[in-house]
Chains A and B, each alone.
Chain A
Amino acid sequence: MKRVKAFAISILILLLMVFIVIPAAQSQVKEYKLTLSECEEYKKMFDDPRPYLKDFYKKVVPTEVYRRLTYDVEAMKKLWAECVGFRAPDVVGKIAPEIKPGKYTYKDKEKYPGLKELMFPDYYKRFNPSTPPHVGNFSEITVVPTRQYFFALPVAEATRKNMGRTKLDDQGYIINESYNAGYPFPQPDGKFKAQQIVYNMFKRYSNFENYFITNRLLGYTKNLRQDYDGATEWYDLRLHGRATMEPYGWFDERARVNGEASATLIKHLAPRDNYGTAFSIMYYLDPDKFDQFLIYINVLRRIRKMSTTDTQDPVAGQDIIYEDKEGFSQKLSPKRYPYKFEVISEREYLIPAASWTGSEYINSKNYEYHNLEFERRPMYVLKLTQLDKNYVYSQRILYMDKETFILYHTENYNQKGRLYRTFDMVPYFIPEMGMFIAANWLYRDHIDQHSGFGLTYVLPAPWLAREHIDLGGLIKKGK
Chain B
Amino acid sequence: MKKRKLLTLVLMAGLIIALTFSSAVAEEFMVLGRSLKLFGFATQEFSYGFRDKYDTESNLNSALMNLFVEGDYQITKDLKFYGSGMLTVDWIYQLKGNHDSWNDQLFSKSKHNLNVDDKYWQLLKEANITWTPKNFMFKAGKQIVSWGELLAFRIMDQINPLDTRRGFLDVEFETTIIPIWLFRAEYYLPIKPSWLQDLGFEFVYNPNADFIPNQDIMTGNADGGIWAPNITTSIPFPPFKAHLATTYADISTPKRWKEGNEFGFRAKASIFDTIFTLNAFYGRNNSPVTLFTPPYISPVLPHIFASDGNLLLHPFQEGKYPLLKFVGVTIARDIPGLKSSFLGGVAPLVYLEALYAFDSTFTFTNPIVPVIQRFGKSDDLRTGINVAWKVKIPFLNPISYFSFTGEFLYRRIMDHPSVETVSDAGGTPLKENNYQTFLSVSTQYFHTKLTPSFTWIHDINSNSNYFIPKLVYDLDNHWHFTLGAQLFKGAKEGQGLQLFDNKNQIFFKVAYKWG
Query: For the complex, what is the distance from the CA of A467 to the CA of B198, rounded to whole Å?
Result: 10
Contact B270 A471 (CB under 8 A): yes
Neighbour of A313 across the interface among B37, B136, B187, B390, CB < 8 A: B390
Centre residue among A254, A294, A472, A475 by max chain B CB count within 10 A: A472
Specify which chain A residues have a CB less than 8 angstroms from the CB of B475 in the assembled complex.
Answer: 227
Contact A304 B332 (CB under 8 A): yes
Q: A12 an interface residue at 8 Å Cβ cutoff?
A: yes
Interface string of B327-344 (1 = CB under 8 A from A): 000001110100101101
Q: B294 an interface residue at 8 Å Cβ cutoff?
A: no
How distant is B73 from chain A, measured CB to nearest CB, in Å? 12
How distant is A240 from chain B, measured CB to nearest CB, in Å? 14
Query: For the complex, what is the distance from the CA of A475 to the CA of B133, rounded to whole Å?
Result: 13
Specify which chain A residues have a CB less than 8 angstroms from the CB of B513 in the assembled complex.
Answer: 271-273
Contact B514 A471 (CB under 8 A): no
Q: B186 an interface residue at 8 Å Cβ cutoff?
A: yes
Query: For the complex, what is the distance from the CA of A90 to the CA of B194, rounded to whole Å?
Result: 49
Neighbour of B345 across the interface among A227, A270, A301, A391, CB < 8 A: A391
Contact A307 B446 (CB under 8 A): no
Neighbour of B194 across the interface among A18, A257, A300, A317, CB < 8 A: A257
Neighbour of B28 across the interface among A36, A301, A470, CB < 8 A: A36
Q: Count of A-B contacts with CB under 8 A?
A: 184
Query: For the complex, what is the distance from the CA of A309 to the CA of B341, rounded to whole Å?
Result: 10
How distant is A281 from chain B, measured CB to nearest CB, in Å? 12
Specify which chain B residues have a CB less than 8 angstroms from the CB of A35 in the assembled complex.
Answer: 28, 35
Query: For the complex, what is the distance from the CA of A317 to the CA of B447, rounded to whole Å?
Result: 7
Neighbour of B447 across the interface among A229, A310, A448, CB < 8 A: A448
How distant is A316 from chain B, measured CB to nearest CB, in Å? 5
How distant is A391 from chain B, measured CB to nearest CB, in Å? 7
Neighbour of B134 across the interface among A1, A24, A445, A448, CB < 8 A: A24
Q: A312 an interface residue at 8 Å Cβ cutoff?
A: yes
What class of interface size applies to chain A in its complex with B?
A: 35 or more
Specify which chain B residues have a CB less than 8 angstroms from the CB of A309 in the assembled complex.
Answer: 334, 336, 339, 345-347
What class of interface size applies to chain B in its complex with A?
A: 35 or more
Specify which chain B residues have a CB less than 8 angstroms from the CB of A312 in the assembled complex.
Answer: 344-346, 392, 401
Contact B188 A471 (CB under 8 A): yes
Interface string of A79-91 (1 = CB under 8 A from B): 0000000000000
How distant is B67 from chain A, measured CB to nearest CB, in Å? 13
Name B residues whose Cβ lies closer than 8 Å to a Cβ of A.
27-28, 30, 35, 37, 39-41, 72, 77, 82, 130, 132-137, 144-149, 151, 172-174, 177, 185-188, 190, 192, 194, 197-198, 200, 203, 205, 261, 263, 268, 270, 273-275, 282, 332-334, 336, 339, 341-342, 344-349, 351, 390, 392, 399-401, 444, 446-449, 474-478, 513-515
CB pairs A–B below 8 angstroms (12 shown): A4-B282, A24-B134, A228-B477, A305-B333, A305-B351, A309-B345, A310-B346, A336-B345, A337-B341, A391-B341, A470-B198, A472-B198
Extra 7 A-B pairs, beta carbons < 8 Å, given A292-B270, A299-B174:
A12-B205, A15-B136, A300-B173, A314-B399, A314-B448, A470-B198, A472-B186
Nearest 7 Cβ contacts at the A-B interface: A472-B188, A471-B198, A227-B476, A271-B477, A257-B194, A301-B146, A448-B447
